[in-house]
Amino acid sequence: MNNATIKASRNGWYQVSGSFTLLDSAGKPYTTTGDIYLCRCGQSKNKPFCDSSHKAAGFESTVQAPPPPATP
């Protein structure tokens, strides 16, 4: 069973940690070890992985979980 954690960085990548399988568009698995960093800005020359192109592109995004709903 896969058990992954995905963390969105401020103005950058998604960090994927834990046990997971990353598949390409044809369903073939990438060979990965340890944490990986996925591109969010769309500018990476090494998609789906981050190559820090977001810095030159001026990509900005701060992803924050919404607060829990109020209980009545």
Domain count, the chain: 1
Asked if the structure places residue 12 within a domain, the reply is: yes
DSSP secondary structure code for residue 67 in this structure: P
Looking at residue 17, its pLDDT comes to: 96
Asked if the structure places residue 67 within a domain, the reply is: no
Q: Maximum distance among all alpha carbons in the chain?
A: 49
Asked if the structure places residue 29 within a domain, the reply is: yes
Asked if the structure places residue 63 within a domain, the reply is: no
Which of the residues in the chain have pLDDT under 70?
1-2
* Full domain range(s) for residue 42: 3-57
Asked if the structure places residue 44 within a domain, the reply is: yes
Looking at residue 15, its pLDDT comes to: 97
